Amino acid sequence: MSTTTSPIVASPFLQTLVAQYRAQDPYGIYASWSDERFLQPYVLTKEQKRQISLDQPVDPATRERITRFYSAIARLIEQQRGKLTQVVISLHDEGFGWALIFSGRLLLVARPLRDAQRFGFASLEQMAQAGEKDVQNALALIDRFPAVTEV
Amino acid sequence: MSTTTSPIVASPFLQTLVAQYRAQDPYGIYASWSDERFLQPYVLTKEQKRQISLDQPVDPATRERITRFYSAIARLIEQQRGKLTQVVISLHDEGFGWALIFSGRLLLVARPLRDAQRFGFASLEQMAQAGEKDVQNALALIDRFPAVTEV
């Protein structure tokens, strides 16, 4: 048994993401899963990414992972500032598109997506950093332009 | 020959929309088409709308019309204020989604789409009004929050 602290315990972002998966399991089918098991599909090595063909449409499970990743960011923003947010994932089968989060008329996250078939991170730590950076940037935008969220 | 002025001549929005269709006709296949003929598929009576089933996915031609409609709005905003804009149409097959136009971090148009299979207007005049209203609202937002477009 490892004594290393799980990166999930240390990350409000990863905890929020796991909580989303658990919340959408009303019959408890995945109740026995560890937190790590829910997030494991987000972790891809370079070699694993290379093996995913870009000639194929983005598969539904990957779309779902992208949507939940940005939904967890949105949830944290809402918790921190009490603002309602909207998440829009616009993804062409070819793997490009946008992940957008907005509140009122303020775009809190505007991330172009490319090669979305290969959406993933080198480690849970890296994923936690990416998510938390988006949250922090969004909070700074709200604090700078609060009136735009009220339009 | 009718002496009525075409609503297209009177509307910068409809002119911009027609110009988009003509610009994407490099081989002049549709060069003989009148302006009205390009825009005619946007006009649907209530009865015509009713006949379009909502149980079917949004067909590609309708998606294209929606995209061009909002692209014409974006083009006019760019012309009026010299701001680059981005159009994102996020449309589920079921017919719901979003039409978004943004510049920097300012959302200039944020239109929820529903029953997009039936996207259309009672008349060209009504379509012109809808498009121009979106343009005017967007320009007012830019003038109110110019700094947000520069983020």
CATH code of the domain covering residue B136? 1.10.3100.20
Q: Which residues contact B12 (CB under 8 A, 6 or more apart)?
A: B76, B132
pLDDT bucket at B73, cuts 50 / 70 / 90? very high
Chain B contacts of A145, Cβ < 8 Å? 105, 145, 147-148
Contact A21, A139 (CB under 8 A): no
Chain B residue closest in CA terms to A109: B105
Contact B4, B121 (CB under 8 A): no
Contact A8, A18 (CB under 8 A): yes
Mean pLDDT of B16-29: 93
The rounded distance, in Å, linking the Cα atoms of B134 and B136 is 6
Number of domains in chain A: 1
The domain containing residue A114 runs over which residues? Answer: 7-149
Contact B14, B131 (CB under 8 A): yes
- Nearest CA to B120 among B14, B61, B42? B42
d(CA B33, nearest CA chain A) in Å: 31
B15 within a domain of the structure (yes/no) = yes
Cβ neighbour number for residue B39 with a 10 Å cutoff: 22
Q: Are strands B86-91 and A106-113 parallel, antiparallel or unpaired?
A: unpaired
- Which pLDDT score, from 0 to 100, does residue A20 have? 94
Place of tokens 């560890």: A34
B2 within a domain of the structure (yes/no) = no
Mean pLDDT of B98-102: 98
Cβ neighbour number for residue A1 with a 10 Å cutoff: 2
Share of chain A above pLDDT 70, in %: 97
Provide the token pair at B63.
Answer: 């998606």
Nearest-5° Cα angle at A20, A17 to A24: 150
A117 within a domain of the structure (yes/no) = yes
Q: What is the ipTM metric for this complex?
A: 0.91
Task: Please tell me the least confidently modeled range out of A4-13, A87-96, A115-124, B47-56.
Answer: A4-13
Mean pLDDT of B120-137: 97
Residue ranges with strand state E in B8-146 = 86-91, 97-103, 106-113
- Which pLDDT score, from 0 to 100, does residue B4 have? 64
A1 within a domain of the structure (yes/no) = no
Mean pLDDT of B15-36: 93
A135 within a domain of the structure (yes/no) = yes
B29 within a domain of the structure (yes/no) = yes
A141 inside 8 A of chain B by CB = yes
- Which pLDDT score, from 0 to 100, does residue A6 have? 84
- Nearest CA to A130 among A49, A58, A43, A54? A43
- Which pLDDT score, from 0 to 100, does residue B3 have? 53
Nearest-5° Cα angle at A77, A74 to A80: 150
The rounded distance, in Å, linking the Cα atoms of B58 and B1 is 37
Task: Please tell me the least confidently modeled range out of A74-88, B1-15, B63-77, B117-131.
Answer: B1-15
The rounded distance, in Å, linking the Cα atoms of A122 and A43 is 6
Mutate to test the interface with B, among A87, A102, A105, A143 (most CBs of B within 10 A): A105
Instruction: Tell which A residues from 90 to 109 touch B, by Cβ distance under 8 Å.
Output: 90, 97-98, 100, 102, 104-108
B17 within a domain of the structure (yes/no) = yes
pLDDT bucket at A4, cuts 50 / 70 / 90? low
Chain B contacts of A98, Cβ < 8 Å? 88, 90
Share of chain B above pLDDT 70, in %: 97
A23 within a domain of the structure (yes/no) = yes
